[in-house]
Structure 1
């Protein structure tokens, strides 16, 4: 029996004062049952009944937009970290008060990128920060590699992942050693691909946009250099590793076909890794900084039970956050929870935590939702053109495609 559930399993039936609704993404049947049991504990403690709505990942964005537009649905929702700007701009979610932030421990209690990605900055000072979501689960992009294949190819693991240049040298060395699929990436429509390539943009000193001045920047020279270098990795994607989505790219690694994959915490949870080569993999952050995302809890503006909703958030994401949730749901954003968790003793999980602690997020801004959608739509188009050309001029393709989208977005904004 899980720790938190076991401690409170002797509660007798209690009276209910309030009823609220919580929506979360579908993290799998087993983990959902753990959450349901924890909500029973919360009910016994607080006399607040929680109706749980589990939302499939596919279509979750559309569902949350409906909640925002029609002002009807859950009191509390788990939402993706990059969605905060859209819903705050729609005035659909309620900002957390200074007292609530203090009760949760403030910024210093959380992983820095998770906290930064949960609010908007209206000025240059810390007092200009508004927290719209309470960080709950962290997710970070990391390189997961087959240690045994790398060693057989004579690769120095201490030097293989230092920067983008050494990564290219590493993949070339794997190719030269006869490794058919040195790298696998999602090249069909995928938000994960966007999160991965962010590190290549940051390596060149670029950024997607400026949230304070609301300027689109992904066609600037430094960004285009990073993008060209990222799409240049196509030369390491064997024919069998092209045209894959998130799931099939992961499958290629899980089934032992690929030496390297870039993804998130779910890679370490897959049963195929644990069965086939758990002791043969390594994990390291993407240089120079990994993208950190995850999910936050929001309280919807339409909720008339904000006080009860905050109590639930405090229970699930506060200083006593139930460790039963992790790492099945992801890993906690709270530093005290990370310090208490047993799973971080595993070297690979610890490497993932370190990547998150030193990672970056994409700043929340009014424009990001629109920019993200355009880029997610554009990335597979660029991959397709590169793969369809025998000797692609990657820099020219990237410059032409990304500049055109940036210019169209500017026209839309000015209109």
Structure 2
């Protein structure tokens, strides 16, 4: 079953194997802890870059108080993070520690720029058995020591506004895609829209259409790793997404421009939309002012008669150390701190994401219906992105094509199946080139 592929390592971008890892700052690891400042690139997990700074700083201060090691953090937008990593690898100038999307793990591992977490290194941060097995599986290529460890575990779910649903006479979250569209039409009024999407975001687009393709029984690569973009199943999955704007008309056309990774969620939190397909984010919704009592979550439904019961990619954020960091012992101390049970509880509680370590689930904050829903999605309804060297190019090419097609739909041009097929064929040709 495809759903059992959760234990496979997920790969994205293949970068040239000749690229070298980037270094840390000029101080040496032999100096006193109080003389060491680690550089840390964090990913945007909260409502804004500024929000992440506010969330992370108390934890960084606690780490400094405990160890004497200072941490200079920069929160990097998702739209820039991979390019920043690749540029740092090429230039030799970059952070000591960084967050990476877990789908990048195997391909970044291939560069040799990241520290392998072999048995001895893993023991330095408390051991591998602390982590969720599914999340730990997405930390590198199969059969090799991982080059990252999980810090935030994630899955996509359908968030819905319970009050809006009740006012529209909808008593249950949709169990099929057809029910979702029907509910979205009831919920689309002069005051709000049925669904918000981040249509200008390449990563959100590819994650969504990948899931929809899987539901249709499609695949963007065959078992041998050969690209198969232009298939009827992939076309149907993309059309399902485009139709939110162009045919079903339950999404504001302006959403085609949303690209910073927070706008669709903000619309949902403020009542401008009644549903949003998003990674675990209850903490961010509350931070944006949404009443927790109004927050409902369910699996993203598949069309009636779907070939596969898929609701999410295997999502998550990993923590990695550049292998030529001049402060590797201190960097590993920081990894141990960030993955410790108290820090995991606090950060994931604030963000509304899922802890990556099992002990954290003893906290009452993670013994909720929403958390159980997301854990169930990860266990039973999630599939990894394609484990192929060209994964990054695939994400960029198809995600950008979908972005452009959404812009066409938003302008009033209906994007047909034939047009989608042509776009996918062109993307596959670019990949081959």
Map of 2:389 onto structure 1: 366
Question: In 2, Cα distance between the equivalents of 1:323 and 1:256?
Answer: 29
Name the CA shift for 1:299/1:331 in 2 (closer, same or farther; >3 Å).
same
Map of 2:140 onto structure 1: 119
Instruction: Give the TM-score normalised by structure 2.
Output: 0.77
Q: CA deviation at 1:405?
A: 0.8
Counterpart of 2:318 in 1: which secondary structure? strand
Name the CA shift for 1:317/1:233 in 2 (closer, same or farther; >3 Å).
same
Question: In 1, Cα distance between the equivalents of 2:411 and 2:53?
Answer: 41
Counterpart of 1:236 in 2: which secondary structure? coil
Q: Aligned to 1:189, which of 196, 201, 204?
A: 201
Name the CA shift for 1:277/1:55 in 2 (closer, same or farther; >3 Å).
closer
Map of 2:46 onto structure 1: none
Q: Aligned to 1:82, which of 103, 123, 141?
A: 103
Question: In 1, Cα distance between the equivalents of 2:263 and 2:94?
Answer: 34
Name the CA shift for 1:270/1:225 in 2 (closer, same or farther; >3 Å).
closer
Q: CA deviation at 1:387?
A: 3.2
Name the CA shift for 1:406/1:339 in 2 (closer, same or farther; >3 Å).
same
Q: Is the 8 A contact 1:85 1:369 kept in 2?
A: no
Q: CA deviation at 1:93?
A: 1.5
Q: Aligned to 2:243, which of 232, 244, 251?
A: 232
Q: How does 1:148-297 map to 2 (within 5 A)?
A: 148-157=163-172, 160-174=173-187, 181-209=193-221, 213-234=224-245, 235-239=248-252, 241-245=254-258, 246-266=261-281, 268-271=283-286, 274=289, 276-287=290-301, 288-297=310-319
Instruction: Give the TM-score normalised by structure 1.
Output: 0.80
Q: Aligned to 2:403, which of 368, 380, 385?
A: 380
Q: How does 1:34-73 map to 2 (within 5 A)?
A: 34-43=58-67, 49-57=69-77, 59-73=80-94
Q: Is the 8 A contact 1:72 1:302 kept in 2?
A: no
Q: Is the 8 A contact 1:344 1:353 kept in 2?
A: no
1:16-39 superposed Cα distances (whole Å, 9 cap, x missing partner): 388362413255232122222231
Name the CA shift for 1:273/1:66 in 2 (closer, same or farther; >3 Å).
closer
Q: Is the 8 A contact 1:23 1:53 kept in 2?
A: yes
Counterpart of 1:188 in 2: which secondary structure? coil
Q: How does 1:385-400 map to 2 (within 5 A)?
A: 385-389=408-412, 392=414, 394-400=416-422
2:165 matches 1:145: no
Name the CA shift for 1:21/1:168 in 2 (closer, same or farther; >3 Å).
same
Question: In 2, Cα distance between the equivalents of 1:267 and 1:244?
Answer: 24
Q: CA deviation at 1:312?
A: 2.7
Name the CA shift for 1:38/1:202 in 2 (closer, same or farther; >3 Å).
farther
Question: In 2, Cα distance between the equivalents of 1:273 and 1:97?
Answer: 40
Bigger mean CA offset, 188-197 vs 353-362: 353-362
Structure 2 spans left out of the alignment, 5+ residues: 1-31, 43-48, 302-309
Name the CA shift for 1:240/1:231 in 2 (closer, same or farther; >3 Å).
closer
Counterpart of 2:33 in 1: which secondary structure? coil
Q: Is the 8 A contact 1:141 1:195 kept in 2?
A: no
